[in-house]
Amino acid sequence: MAKVESFELDHTKVKAPYVRLITVEEGPKGDKISNFDLRLVQPNENAIPTGGLHTIEHLLASLLRDRLDGVIDCSPFGCRTGFHLITWGEHSSTDVARALRDSLKEIRDEIKWEDVPGTTIKTCGNYRDHSLFTAKEWCNDILKQGISDDPFARHVVKD
């Protein structure tokens, strides 16, 4: 079996919430794709309930694109502790952490239910499993801790 970097990471050593650059891959034509670990809660200590995580996922899909060039995808981890962010090109962990922080602030402070994209039977594969209330609560808890641009030491990003 091929080795997967995320399964090689010692999850007992990281200090969430953080942004971690996993890898930058270069394609045959020189195009670069970056993969980030956006860890919102401490692994094996907590997990975001699916309704809240699902709503955060739908919102980050748009909000991160508003703040970062080249976003390809933002997908939740099955463990419900965060997301993979895949982008074209290279971004610093600090820039991604700021974009994540500002997106979570917008979810917490400004987003109303009618702002959440993809919440109907036609636009979502599990449209009943959303919770903006839970998303806002978790965003608030995460923001109180601050987003670090270092997975192993708390280096909370500032403006």
Tokens encoding 120? 């109907």
SS3 65: helix
Local mean pLDDT, 10-residue blocks, the chain (159 residues): 86 97 95 97 97 98 98 97 98 98 98 97 97 98 98 94
What is residue 110's predicted lDDT score, i.e. its pLDDT? 98
SS3 83: strand
Residue 139: how many CB atoms within 10 A of its CB? Answer: 25
Strands 82-88 and 32-39: antiparallel
Q: Is the CB of residue 116 less than 8 Å from the CB of residue 74?
A: no
Cα distance between residue 58 and residue 103, in whole Å: 12
Element (H, E) at 44: none
For residue 40, which of 84, 86, 70, 3 has the smallest C-alpha distance? 84
